[in-house]
Structure 1
Amino acid sequence: MTTLVDISLEDSISIFEKDLNSDVLLTWCFPSINDQLRQVLLNKTSLEKEKISLNFSFSKYKNTWIYIHTTSIDHSSGTIPESLKRVAAFSICITRNHFNPEKYSSLASILSNVYLALGDCSKLLECQLRVINRGQFDVGALGKFVDSSFDVRRSYLATSIKDVIRLFGEEIILIWSAMAMKKRVVVYSEKLISLLKVIRALPLFVFHRQNWNILRPYVSINDLEIKDLQSTGIYCAGFVDPSIKSRDDLYDILIDLSSKEVSISSYSKDQFVLGSFHKDLLRFMLESLDNDEVSDQALIKGLNMKMKELLSKLESLKEDDGKITLESLESRKLPNGMSTFLFNIANAEGLNG
């Protein structure tokens, strides 16, 4: 008897295969996905490229998180299932509605083991249903998955915030400012693995929001994904295509991991005037690097305290109607650039209603 389960449309598993003739097809999916998501998944697998990326990747399209594990098939092993005899490589694509790369890296890896060993989609369906109904499954030597073993809080802290600060030095204050003011952030790297490591850490600079949904960790430059990106308004988006550097219509700041430089868009330079608050905050972050007693968690807590102090200052600057306007801030004769910065922070934190 078949058990009926309530499966979200965002909880899918798909298999894309590249055959020995270099043709790429979606060979199995449960449940079904729309044509747009299908195209995005195909873009992310890299199977259509001459050089296939075998790194685990994660990305986001609309409200759907995408996790992909790609496997190359060694036909010299002699143990390939009959159904995979004409397959050069395949990608297991998992879609979910939440962020947890470690969880889905583990799940995708085990499902890849199962498919490589058996070449049987029905076994993947069985694993999918057991995850949904029981939160776990065990396929013996091929792997065991237990959903409750993966705390999302560990996933938030997977990349050290101190490592990111060390990487950019004094320019880290521009990254903090962009995150605090909810600006459009683009991160470029030649290597996908480096891109994903750094971009997932950026929400740590504004941890009080605990919002990883602003991430678009890996975006391909095509009309479908760029339109989706623009529709979100505010984002941290990652690219491995160097042409993104010339698209300053898509970012307020560009973080280049290859050169370790941060560039401000010509349209946004007036938003990034630095004052005494920024200098004090930068000093706090840089000094933490030389202090072994300051852990990542302690640094994040310190940044939260600095933001709390700033918000208390903003509360005291509210007008009688409870609003904070740029005009009212400018009338207070604040230091150069501080009025714009405070107004942006007020809007980002929802202090104007």
Structure 2
Amino acid sequence: MFNLKGFAFTSLFALQQSASAVRDVVYILCFGLNPLGETLIELRDIYARFDIENLMKDGDEPYPRVDGKNELKSKGMEIEFRNVFFKYPGTSKMVLEDISFKIKPGQMVVIVGANGSGKSSTFKLFNRIYDPTEGEVLVDGLPLSSYKLKDVRRAMAILRQDHTPYPLSLRMNIALGSPDNENPSEEELIKALQAGGADRFIEKLPKKLDTVLDPVQLSWLNLNGESNDVLKKMVADKEKVTDVSGGESQRLAAARTFMRLGGSGIRLLAADEPTSALDPEGEYELFSRLKEQRGGKTVIFITHRFGHLTKYADMILVLKDGRLVESGNHTELLAKGGEYRRLHDVQARAFISLDDSASSEMTDSKSTSKLD
């Protein structure tokens, strides 16, 4: 039996602490080595990525080209597809087949077609997310692959359908649209927000531009059963997720694009279904402001909706099943009576049906009120 006589309390406390320390070490050895091993493997994989060779080779030619023979006579970018075939890596089906067209500098072009026609795949080729499987994409007369990739992308303002905000404040999310402008003014930010139509809903947020929509979890709270409401509230406020609708998210993306358009050197504005989550009024306003920002730039819109854009386009490219089946302006394509006319009439009938339905409801409502 252990005799505590003459055993100091401090020694007993030290013994208890030592026993706890040994217990913790044993626990870590038994249960902590597996997560440690997994963490080391993940770290190894991160560093291994630096050794992965980029399959998309960078070019040597600076963009835009400025020399005695190729002076910048236009503020827009010329884009040409020559017999382009494309299939996604790891697949066997061609999503684009023998596509050829030429977009002149400063033109406004709209690419239309039913779902699955190849619109977005075309979009991914001219900003070199992918390279063609066969054929060539040319920019200002040279193969796109011959240019320094960062130079070409710096000359583009791209507005995509999908938009995932960064885990930063909305102020920083918008400012990232113009990376060369390290310290944008409040006036520049507000102007971009208004152009994108995002100013109204941001104004309703408690923290406004300082709101972080989806913050990264950086804390772990363990009070061991004790209550600390102030600390809990502090952590909850820091990591609170702010929900926004699809339309609001697209307005944020548009505001970032307008921020980019406010910078220098942009020669191409391209938008892929940027208004899919907006109502007709919001769509009209956004397209109107984007058209106002042309300023000699080449503009390419991809859309499945007609009306706000196609009537004003210099050229419309009509895709069907991965092929370019028609090209021309709105009047010419309607007169042809082909795929464009078919798509146009389908949408027109839908609007006529809605109008007839609304008129019928109003008539029924009036009849009912007379009977009453």
Between structure 1 and structure 2, the one with the greater Rg is: 2
TM (normalized to structure 2)? 0.24
Bigger relative contact order, structure 1 or 2 (CA pairs below 8 A, ≥6 apart): 2
